[in-house]
Amino acid sequence: MLDRFDISLLNLVQRDDGQTAEVLANNVPLSPSAIARRLRRLRANGIIARTIALLSPRLVERRLRALVLIQLSEHADLKGKDALEKRLLEAPCVQFCYEIAGPTTSLLYSTAKACRPSTTPRTNCWCPLPRSVATKRTS
């Protein structure tokens, strides 16, 4: 169970995970060693799933970035949805994938090297889609 200290720490590290325990102690009334222990526990228990770096816009300005909404044509069982999410997250260009409420099943954020401007479709600037994502058209 998360207490108010855990929630305060999670709110802070979501904004900047590079802060030291000493800096975090300025905003959470715990000692730096207690903060470090709590963060280790939150990571070990999977509450903090992973740490990522947000790159400077000037570095990534020439990369294609896309928010992709995924809508399954049929309701999938939980194992099927979990397998799809796992396969999507294994693709190197997918930064995150979340299940969302509403008519759309999932939202993912992806980046890829930028393509030269062209009027013809390009396939080499995007990561290959997992087989389970491929859609089938029906007449």
Q: What is the pLDDT of residues 48-96, one digit of tens each?
A: 988 887 777 777 777 778 888 888 776 667 787 788 888 888 888 888 8
Q: What is the pTM of this model?
A: 0.56
Residue 139, pLDDT above cutoff 50: no
Domains identified in the chain and CATH numbers: 4-44 (1.10.10), 58-133 (3.30.70)
Burial group, residue 95, by CB count within 10 angstroms (0-12, 13-18, 19+): middle
